[in-house]
């Protein structure tokens, strides 16, 4: 089934390019998780179930969680800084969003 | 050019992904995207290795029905290498994420270029300050 | 199998085990454990050196129950043993020299973590020296990289995070290139162990089909290791990484970590690459050119630098250029000179970084030249150490730097005439530039200052630091005076290295 | 030595002395921040004397220089990318075809791993047998990579209660953002899922030598189960059992056992001694010699490391 292989590989490349062009970091991280899942499927097709299960647990699971918690941590650090500077909440959120964008 | 370019889709995709990841790692000013680029680069290498281990029409390297002949299973070596490699890459990316948090706490930005520019300026001012102090000492 | 043959394996496992145990120890206990471990490794390596010199041949040691192409193995000869001994000695002296700074600059609850990093760094360096397996080398390269990053950021003040991030990014690019080169090499040879890979390459390289892949593979492996060891155009992370961290870490990073990668590259050149292959010749030419550029540009950058630690880091770039130039000569003599310079540069740089820390401390933490005026009077032993290190760098006879420069110059005569002339000119220019910036700094250290500025302000004398400085200075002197036996061991080891 | 007399300002010797001490640097282009046309007095370019205009000029010049550098850098990087792509594609085109039986890597090494693997290691999963027995040194190195990465993250993010009470308070305050205020949906889902996830993880670890998976993937699954539990119920609940002491001692025991067991096996192997480790009956849970125990160790280390990564990222402590 070369057609399926080519489609999956094409999807991988599209994901990789999309990561660098997406404006919001949250979107980039989600795309990366999709990338990992598709990579796991590709490895399943390549008869390497060990790799597939590891990639699904690690790439799409733990690494994704760590990315999310890192983004959330950055946001809370940011909120602290803004609060110290005495900015009002509306402005804070706008600033965080700006910061999370590229 | 060799002839394999028309059959090795996996390897070609791996090469393209490798270059995309490498460029993300080198060119993106944003640290988070740099880390994602790093992960993509590593994944690409593992895809290449896994594709090298595949043999048409054979099974995954787990014994089934007591068949011990090497003609029924694919090459297990690349899979082992990739398993080791995945652990390495997840450790490295966790470390990079921790560094990113610390950098953000220190400089309030995720953009490495901005941080470098800020440092440049600080260094310059520090240099001038030291020079002025030294000149003051020299005069007295 | 005699008991001595187990020693390399014991030293690797011992350092790993110490790291694991240190995770529950207090900082002080971890420190003593680390010092004891490094001393033990030093004596074990000396034992192995003596054994291999007596038997006069190298041997392989199986890591497990399975022989060569199936299991992991390590390979031990005189060259590996002397390198391991030198690395252990340098590690011991550097850590001793920076002991007080570690206690002050690393947070109390995290000191045991710092020593864990040191332990694992030692084990990864030993594994890089001894391993005969490419993938093992990759895994330990990663350990070495992460440990080095941890050492850079252990101080947690100022710009260390930026240094660590820049170091990590460049190193990861290097690892990525190394890993893909390794995968390509595996896909054309089918082996991960070095000796079977060489046999496979000898069989397939005559086919023209494999010329292009082999060249690309060598390019990737070399650039990967070159980035990690700070070869000139890829050196941008060096001044940051060495300039802002705690002194022991700077000394260890500059004198050992980059040398581990260079040793691996030498191993690749000798053990994997078939002798006289076309791709190998291209590779040596490229290394030669990069090395020469690095020798000169590194010194030029050092002259422009006002911060003394950054200046010394740039001088590392130049010295790494010397090593690559020696490898690029493509002859056995060039390789021997490069290997000797690996040890001698380690001794010089560790001495410089340890004494710089003392000098800066007596000058109120200032690192610019103006602030260091008269520091040589304030801290006599550090001033002496810096002077000895600088003279050695410049190539003063009786010191180790002179011997390595002499070896490079005489090795150049064994290469082609063009390379010989180029190497001589580069050596002359680089030595002059070295003299300019090091002598300038030494003159600043001994500039006349009023009597009240000759007293050290808020300075706590430290016995270990002085002892380490003197030890490193003696090592420089010893390597300079008693170089013939060391060179003999190196050339003997190089003969049976392949 | 009249030329050493400082009365001669601007003499070569004075410049040289200044340069040697680091007061004057001809190569660094101080010109761009000096007022044009006027020869500055010594000390006139001190920060206090710098007018705002000059600072702006300096910054503009700096920005322009950095901008130019970045443009060059981008072009170089693109060229590098193109060259690398072409080189690698050419290399790939010379490699053996995809799925080729006669490719060089399908040699006697892979053949022995498959044909003798069951007899020599006792593992039904050939990959597990390979990485934990034939090439165990690599795998031990890999566990050390994980260990050292967790040490580095500890150095970076661990906040010590005694040494730094201020940041500890700050971190605790920030952590309120994560605490769910009795989020019923999440808690119900977690109550249902967490046991299943953790049991599945344990299954994957214990069957590492029989089926796909192994210590690492199983450990990651257990770790994500613990993280889900923590997200749903907060530190109050997990703090009861996942304390710092427990994590440390579990990691120490697992890695220590791993190290000692593998040293024993390496030592006996290299010295051709008899080892008491036997492959056992293939297919049973307690077979395959050390592999099942090593998988358990790796699983424990990975689960603890993943959990502690999460907690350290979130509030710098356990």
- Subunits adjacent to chain D (3 or more Cβ pairs under 8 Å): A, B, C
- Domain assignment present for residue C55? The answer is no
pLDDT of residue D181: 63
Cβ–Cβ pairs < 8 A, chains C and D: 192
pLDDT band at C331; cut points 50, 70, 90:
confident
Residues D247/D309, Cβ–Cβ less than 8 Å = no
pLDDT for C187: 87
- Cβ distance D177 to A49 less than 8 Å, yes or no, reads no
Predicted confidence at residue D35, as pLDDT, reads 36
B102 in the same domain as B130: no
Q: Which of A49, A58, A76 minimises the CB distance to D177? A: A76
**φ/ψ (deg, to 5) at D59:** -65, -40
Range of the structural domain that residue C399 is part of: 276-498
- Please, which pLDDT band fits residue B136 given cuts at 50, 70 and 90? low
Tens digit of pLDDT for each residue in C267-308? 988 888 887 777 778 888 889 999 999 999 999 988 888 888
| Averaged pLDDT for residues B72-93 | 89
pLDDT tens-digit profile of C386-410?
999 999 999 888 889 899 999 999 9
Instruction: Identify whether residues B88 and B27 lie together within a single domain.
Output: yes
Residue C361's pLDDT is what?
83
Q: What percent of chain C has pLDDT over 70?
A: 99
> Under the phi-then-psi rule, with left for phi > 0, alpha for psi from -120 to 50, and beta for the rest, what region is C131?
beta
How confident is the model at residue B93, as a pLDDT?
A: 92
By Cβ distance, the residue of D22, D84, D125 closest to B19 is D84
Q: Are residues D22 and D133 in the same domain?
A: no
Residue C98 · residue B47 · CB < 8 Å: no
Question: Among C50-59, C254-263, D207-216, which is the least confidently predicted range?
Answer: D207-216
Check contact C-D (3+ Cβ pairs < 8 Å). yes
- Structural domain range at position B11: 4-108
Q: Is the pLDDT of residue D37 over 50?
A: no
Q: What whole-number distance in Å separates Cα of residue B18 and Cα of residue B25?
A: 10
Reported as a pLDDT band with limits 50, 70 and 90, residue C18 is very high
> Cβ contacts (< 8 Å) between C184 and chain D: which residues?
91, 95
Query: Is D34 touching B (CB cutoff 8 A)?
Result: no
Query: Which residues share a beta bridge with C75?
Result: C60
Residue C295 belongs to a domain? yes
Of B100-114, C228-242, C286-300, D28-42, which one has max mean pLDDT? Answer: C286-300
Q: Give the C-alpha separation, B121 to B118, whole Å.
A: 5
Total number of domains in chain B: 2
Helix axes C7-22, D244-270, angle to 10 degrees: 170
Of residues B9 and C337, more confidence is placed in C337
Strand partners, D125: B62
pLDDT at D38 over 70: no
pTM, entire model: 0.90
Q: Looking at chain C, which residue has its C-alpha nearest residue D274?
A: C65
Q: How many domains does chain C have?
A: 1
| Chain B partners within 8 Å of C173 (Cβ) | 22, 25-26
Distance between CA atoms of D318 and D307, rounded to whole angstroms? 9
Least-confidence region, from C72-86, C144-158, C391-405, C444-458: C444-458
Q: Which residues contact A71 (CB under 8 A, 6 or more apart)?
A: A25, A26, A29, A100, B32
What's the rounded Cα separation, in Å, for the pair C306 and C355?
17
Considering the domain architecture, whether residues B74 and B22 belong to the same structural domain is answered as yes
Convert chain B into a string of H (helix), E (strand) and C (coil): CCCHHHCCHHHHHHHHHHHHHHHHHHHCCEHHHHHHHHHHHHHHHHHHHHHHHCCCCCECCECCCCCCCCCCECCHHHHHHHHHHHHHHHHHHHHHHHHHHHHHHHHCCCEHHHHHHHHHHHHHHHHHHHHHHHHHHHHC
Q: Cβ distance D70 to B117 under 8 Å?
A: no
Question: Is C11 inside a domain boundary?
Answer: no
- Angle at the Cα of D285 from the Cα atoms of D282 and D290, rounded to 5 degrees: 80
For residue D284, the 8-state DSSP code is: S
* C169 at B interface, C-beta within 8 A: yes
- DSSP secondary structure string for all residues of A11-42: HHHHHHHHHHH-SBHHHHHHHHHHHHHHHHHH
Q: Is residue C193 part of a domain?
A: no
Whether residue D120 lies inside any domain: the answer is: no
> Is pLDDT above 80 for C48?
yes
- The CA distances from residue A13 to B10, B93, C129, C186, D80, in Å, are 11, 21, 38, 25, 19
For residue A53, the distance in angstroms to the closest alpha carbon of chain D comes to 6
Q: Which burial class, exposed, middle or buried, applies to D1 when counting CB atoms under 10 A from its CB (0-12, 13-18, 19+)?
A: exposed
For helices C78-97 and C27-55, angle between their N-to-C axes, nearest 10 degrees: 150
Residues B25, B85: one domain? Answer: yes
Q: A14-23, C234-243, C371-380, D24-33 — which is least confidently predicted?
A: D24-33
Q: Are C37 and C16 in contact (CB under 8 A)?
A: no
Whether C120 sits inside 8 A of D144 (CB atoms) is: yes
**What pLDDT digit, counting tens, does each position of D278-291 carry?**
666 666 666 777 88
Q: Do chains B and D touch (3 or more CB pairs under 8 A)?
A: yes
ipTM: 0.91
The answer to whether C64 contacts D25, with C-beta atoms less than 8 Å apart, is no
Is the model's pLDDT at C59 over the cut of 60?
yes
Q: How far apart are CA D213 and CA A54, in angstroms?
A: 7
Helix-helix angle C332-362:C483-495, to 10 degrees: 130
Residues B29 and B98 grouped into a single domain: yes
The pLDDT value given to residue D176: 67
- Tell me which residue of C113, C116, C122 sits closest to C94, measured CA to CA: C122
Q: Is residue B124 domain-shared with residue B90, that is, in the same domain?
A: no
Residue D10 included in any domain: yes
Q: What is the pLDDT of residues A48-74, one digit of tens each?
A: 888 899 999 888 889 999 999 898 888
Q: SS3 breakdown of chain A: % helix, strand, coil, rounded to 5?
A: 85, 0, 10
**Number of domains observed in the structure of chain D:** 2
Same domain (yes/no): D269, D155: yes
Q: Is the pLDDT of residue A18 over 80?
A: yes
Q: For all residues of chain D together, what is the average pLDDT?
A: 77
Measured CA to CA in angstroms, residue C233 lies from A79, C296, C300, C424 at distances of 41, 12, 14, 21
Query: Is the torsion defined by CA of D166, D169, D172, D177 positive or negative?
Result: negative
Q: Which DSSP string corresponds to C372-426?
A: GTTHHHHSHHHHHHHHHHHHHHHT-TTSHHHHHHHHHHHHHTTS-HHHHHHHHHH
In this predicted structure, which of B10-19, B57-66, D295-304 has the lowest mean pLDDT?
Answer: B57-66
Best probe of the D interface among B20, B95, B101, by most D CBs < 10 A, is: B95
Q: Do residue D217 and residue A69 have CB atoms under 8 angstroms apart?
A: no
Between D116 and C133, the higher pLDDT residue: C133
Query: By mean pLDDT, which of B84-88, C311-315, D260-264, D270-274 is the weakest?
Result: D270-274
Which of B72 and B2 is assigned the larger pLDDT?
A: B72
Nearest to C186 by CA among D263, A13, D95: D95
pLDDT band at C343, cuts 50/70/90? Answer: very high
Query: What phi, psi does C41 have (nearest 5°)?
Result: -60, -40
Average pLDDT over chain C, rounded to whole?
A: 88
Q: How far is CA D149 from the centre of its chain?
A: 5
Q: Same domain, yes or no, for B136 and B87?
A: no
pLDDT exceeds 50 at position D170: yes
Mean pLDDT score, B41-52? 91
Cα(C357)–Cα(C97) distance, rounded to whole angstroms?
Answer: 9
Domain that holds residue D207: 126-315
Q: Do residue B95 and residue C172 have CB atoms under 8 angstroms apart? A: no
Instruction: Examine the domain organization and report whether B60 and B93 are in the same domain.
Output: yes
- Return the CATH number at B23: 1.10.287.3510
Q: Quick count: other Cβ atoms within 10 Å of Cβ D29? A: 9
Q: Which two tokens stand for residue C300?
A: 């030029």
- Cβ contact C175:C138 at 8 Å: yes
Of B2, B25, B95, the CB nearest to C173: B25
Residue A83 pLDDT: 76
- What span, in angstroms and rounded, lies between the C-alpha atoms of C385 and D77? 43
Is C492 a member of any domain? yes
Same domain, residue pair D156 and D249: yes
Distance (Å) from the alpha carbon of D249 to chain B's nearest alpha carbon? 20
Return d(Cα B127, Cα C125) in angstroms, integer.
37
Q: In the predicted model, is pLDDT for residue C177 greater than 90?
A: yes
Contacts of A99 in chain B (CB under 8 A): 109-110
Whether the Cβ atoms of residue B93 and residue A64 lie closer than 8 Å to each other: no
Banded model confidence at residue C12, pLDDT cuts 50, 70, 90: very high
Which one, of C366, C475, C438, C470, lies nearest residue C97 by Cα?
Answer: C470
Q: Decide if C183 and B49 are in contact by the 8 Å CB cutoff.
A: yes
Instruction: Examine residue C148 and state whether it is found in any structural domain, yes or no.
Output: no
Residues recorded for chain D: 318
Instruction: Tell me the residues of chain B between 57 and 96 that have a Cβ less than 8 Å away from chain D.
Output: 57, 60-63, 68-70, 73, 75-80, 83-84, 86-88, 91-92, 94-95
């Amino acid at each position: 089934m070369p057609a399926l292989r080519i489609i999956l590989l094409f999807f991988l490349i599209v994901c990789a390019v999309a990561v660098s062009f997406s404006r919001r970091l949250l979107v980039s991280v989600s795309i990366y998780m999709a990338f990992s899942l598709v990579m796991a499927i590709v490895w399943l097709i390549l008869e390497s179930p060990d790799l597939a299960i590891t990639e699904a647990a690690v790439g799409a699971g733990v690494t994704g969680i760590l990315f999310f918690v890192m983004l959330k941590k950055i946001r809370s650090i940011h909120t602290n800084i803004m609060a110290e500077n005495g900015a009002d909440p509306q402005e804070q959120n706008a600033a965080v969003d700006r910061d999370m964008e590229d | 050019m060799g002839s394999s370019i028309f059959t090795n889709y996996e390897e070609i995709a791996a090469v393209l992904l490798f270059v995309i990841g490498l460029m993300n790692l080198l060119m993106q000013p944003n640290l988070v995207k740099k880390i994602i680029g790093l992960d993509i680069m590593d994944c690409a290498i593992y895809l290449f290795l896994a594709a090298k281990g595949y043999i048409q029409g054979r099974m995954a390297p787990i014994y089934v029905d007591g068949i011990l002949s090497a003609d029924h299973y694919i090459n297990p070596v690349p899979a082992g290498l990739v398993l080791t490699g995945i652990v390495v890459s997840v450790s490295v990316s966790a470390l990079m994420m921790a560094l990113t948090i610390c950098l953000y706490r220190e400089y309030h930005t995720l953009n490495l270029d901005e941080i470098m520019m800020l440092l440049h300026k600080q260094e310059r001012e520090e240099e001038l300050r030291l020079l002025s102090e030294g000149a003051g000492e020299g005069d007295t | 199998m005699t008991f001595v043959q187990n020693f390399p394996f014991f030293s690797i496992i011992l350092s790993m085990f110490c790291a694991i145990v240190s995770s529950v120890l207090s900082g002080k206990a971890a420190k003593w454990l680390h010092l004891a471990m490094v001393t033990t490794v030093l004596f074990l390596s000396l034992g192995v050196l003596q054994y291999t010199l007596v038997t006069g041949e190298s041997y392989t040691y199986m890591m497990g129950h399975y022989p060569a192409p199936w299991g992991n193995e390590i390979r031990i000869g005189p060259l590996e043993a002397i390198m391991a001994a030198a690395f252990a000695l340098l590690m011991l002296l550097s850590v001793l020299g920076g002991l007080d700074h570690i206690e002050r600059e690393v947070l109390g609850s995290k000191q045991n973590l710092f020593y864990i990093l040191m332990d694992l760094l030692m084990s990864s360096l030993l594994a890089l020296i001894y391993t005969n397996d490419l993938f093992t080398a990759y895994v330990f390269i990663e350990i070495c990289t992460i440990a080095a990053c941890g050492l850079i950021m252990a101080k947690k003040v100022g710009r260390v995070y930026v240094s660590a991030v820049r170091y990590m990014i460049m190193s990861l690019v290097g690892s990525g290139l190394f890993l893909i080169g390794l995968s390509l090499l595996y896909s054309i040879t089918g082996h991960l162990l070095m000796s079977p890979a060489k046999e496979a390459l000898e069989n397939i390289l005559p086919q023209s089909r494999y010329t292009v892949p082999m060249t690309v593979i060598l390019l990737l492996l070399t650039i990967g290791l070159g980035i990690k060891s700070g070869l000139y155009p890829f050196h941008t992370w060096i001044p940051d990484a060495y300039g802002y961290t705690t002194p022991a870490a700077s000394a260890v990073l500059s004198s050992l970590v980059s040398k581990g990668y260079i040793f691996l590259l030498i191993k690749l050149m000798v053990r994997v690459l078939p002798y006289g292959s076309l791709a190998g010749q291209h590779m040596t030419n490229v290394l030669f050119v990069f090395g020469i550029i690095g020798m000169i540009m590194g010194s030029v950058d050092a002259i422009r630098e006002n911060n003394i630690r950054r200046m010394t880091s740039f001088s590392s770039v130049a010295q790494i250029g010397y090593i690559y130039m020696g490898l690029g000569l493509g002859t056995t003599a060039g390789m021997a000179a490069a290997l000797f310079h690996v040890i001698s540069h380690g001794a010089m740089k560790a001495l410089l970084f340890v004494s710089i820390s003392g000098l800066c401390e007596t000058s109120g933490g200032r690192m610019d030249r103006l602030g260091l005026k008269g520091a040589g009077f304030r801290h006599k032993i550090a001033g002496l150490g810096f002077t000895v290190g600088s003279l050695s760098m410049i190539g003063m006879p009786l010191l180790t730097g002179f011997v390595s420069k002499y070896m490079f110059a005489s090795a150049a005569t064994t290469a082609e005439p063009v390379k010989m002339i180029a190497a001589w000119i580069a050596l002359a220019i680089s030595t002059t530039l070295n003299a300019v910036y090091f002598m300038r700094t030494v003159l600043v250290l001994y500039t006349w200052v009023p009597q009240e500025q000759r007293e050290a302000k808020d300075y706590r004398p430290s016995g270990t630091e002085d002892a380490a400085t003197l030890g490193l200075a003696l090592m420089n002197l010893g390597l300079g005076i008693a170089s013939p036996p060391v060179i003999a061991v190196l050339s003997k080891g190089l003969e049976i290295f392949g | 030595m009249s030329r050493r007399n400082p009365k001669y300002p601007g003499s070569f010797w004075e410049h040289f002395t200044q340069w040697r001490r680091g007061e004057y640097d001809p190569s660094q282009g101080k010109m761009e921040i000096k007022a044009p046309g006027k020869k500055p007095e010594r000390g006139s370019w001190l920060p206090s004397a710098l007018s705002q205009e000059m600072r702006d000029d300096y910054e503009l010049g700096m920005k322009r220089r950095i901008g130019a550098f970045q443009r060059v850098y981008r072009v170089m990087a693109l060229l590098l990318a193109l060259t690398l792509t072409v080189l690698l594609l050419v290399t790939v085109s010379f490699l053996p075809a995809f799925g080729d039986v006669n490719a060089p890597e399908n040699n006697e090494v892979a053949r022995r791993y498959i044909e003798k693997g069951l007899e020599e290691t006792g593992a039904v999963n050939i990959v597990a047998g390979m990485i934990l027995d034939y090439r165990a040194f690599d795998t031990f190195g890999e566990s050390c990579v994980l260990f050292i990465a967790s040490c580095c993250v500890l150095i970076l993010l661990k906040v010590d209660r005694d040494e730094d009470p201020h940041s500890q308070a700050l971190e605790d305050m920030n952590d309120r953002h994560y605490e769910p205020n009795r989020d019923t949906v999440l808690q119900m889902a977690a109550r249902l899922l967490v046991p299943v996830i953790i049991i599945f993880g344990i299954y994957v670890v214990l069957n590492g030598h029989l089926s796909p998976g192994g210590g690492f993937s199983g450990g990651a699954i257990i770790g994500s189960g613990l993280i889900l539990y923590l997200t749903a119920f907060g530190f109050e609940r997990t703090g009861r059992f996942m304390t710092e002491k427990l994590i440390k001692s579990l990691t120490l025991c697992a890695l220590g056992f791993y190290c000692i067991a593998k040293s024993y096996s390496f030592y006996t192997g290299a010295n051709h001694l008899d080892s008491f480790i036997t492959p056992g009956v293939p297919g049973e849970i307690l077979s395959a010699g050390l592999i099942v125990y090593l998988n358990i160790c790796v699983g424990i280390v990975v689960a603890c490391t993943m959990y502690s990564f999460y907690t350290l990222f979130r509030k710098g402590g356990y």
